[in-house]
């Protein structure tokens, strides 16, 4: 028995077809070439739990696989290893070495803040600013989503600075990520978000703005969208 064979046994062709469409795997789409075998996240989590003691080199090898659910399993195991690791830097270094395989939004969103963000809570955060200027959308998304760990500690500064850096990012998935983190800023400090928007909302992409103001009341959201704030 192996993690790969256990995952394959749970595969579902109809589910795989749906996931391939949902995660935009067609030519020219953000997930182009990604391969699905059709597992749900709870199924993947159950397999990851079974194999949580898998050696790190084997987890890294699993992350290199072309099948999306294999990479997802690897990252779930990875986050659990990070949580329990004595040498957390080793795990972070391996994670950052393998960003080319963390190449869809679900893979980034379930791992970046738990590994990179958590590690940087009490450390310099220059790596996030390097990632934010990457040509690779997933590295840029890792930079933004990592700040969710800071936000959970009511540390909002890096989310705001990265939002400003990425204000004109043209990719829909980045606009959503930045807007999401701005919304989280507002849940903790609405005045700071309002002050940020006062300078930037007219030049922000609509998708980013919609996400950022999602928790405002209907009239306030409409005023922002109409440019009348």
Q: How far apart are CA 104 and CA 139, in angstroms?
A: 10
152 contacts 188 by C-beta, under 8 angstroms? no
Residues above pLDDT 90, as percent of the chain: 98
pLDDT in tens, 145-155: 999 999 999 99
203 contacts 167 by C-beta, under 8 angstroms? yes
Delineate the domains of the chain, giving CATH numbers in brackets.
1-103 (1.25.10.90), 111-229 (1.25.10.90)
**Quick one: pLDDT at residue 229?**
76
**Quick one: pLDDT at residue 228?**
82
Q: How far apart are CA 34 and CA 52, in angstroms?
A: 24
Q: How far apart are CA 97 and CA 93, in angstroms?
A: 6
pTM (whole model) above 0.85: yes
Per-residue pLDDT, averaged over 125-135, amounts to: 97
**Quick one: pLDDT at residue 1?**
62
212 Cβ partners below 8 Å, 6+ apart?
178, 179, 182, 183, 186, 193, 197, 201, 204
- With 0-12 / 13-18 / 19 or more C-beta atoms within 10 angstroms meaning exposed / middle / buried, residue 2 is exposed
Per-residue pLDDT, averaged over 162-183, amounts to: 97
13 contacts 4 by C-beta, under 8 angstroms? no
Q: Which of 140, 17, 10, 142 is nearest to 70 (CA)?
A: 10
């Amino acid at each position: 028995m192996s993690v790969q064979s256990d995952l394959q046994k749970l595969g579902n062709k109809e589910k795989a077809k749906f996931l391939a469409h949902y995660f935009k795997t067609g030519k020219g789409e953000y997930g182009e070439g990604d391969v699905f075998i059709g597992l749900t996240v709870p199924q993947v989590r159950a397999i990851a739990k079974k194999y949580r003691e898998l050696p790190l080199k084997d987890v890294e090898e699993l992350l290199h696989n072309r099948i999306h659910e294999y990479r997802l399993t690897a990252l779930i195991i990875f986050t659990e290893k990070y949580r329990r690791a004595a040498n957390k830097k080793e795990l972070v270094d391996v994670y950052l070495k393998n960003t080319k395989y963390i190449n869809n939004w679900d893979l980034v969103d379930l791992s970046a803040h738990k590994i990179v963000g958590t590690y940087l809570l009490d450390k310099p955060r220059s790596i996030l600013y390097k990632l934010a200027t990457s040509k690779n959308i997933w590295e840029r998304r890792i930079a933004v989503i990592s700040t969710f760990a800071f936000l959970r500690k009511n540390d909002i500064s890096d989310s705001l600075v990265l939002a400003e850096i990425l204000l004109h990012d043209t990719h829909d998935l980045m606009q959503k990520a930045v807007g999401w983190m701005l919304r989280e800023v507002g849940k903790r400090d609405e005045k700071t978000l309002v002050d940020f928007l006062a300078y930037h909302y007219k030049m922000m992409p609509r998708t980013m703005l919609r996400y950022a103001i999602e928790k405002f009341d209907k009239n306030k959201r409409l005023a922002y969208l109409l440019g009348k704030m």
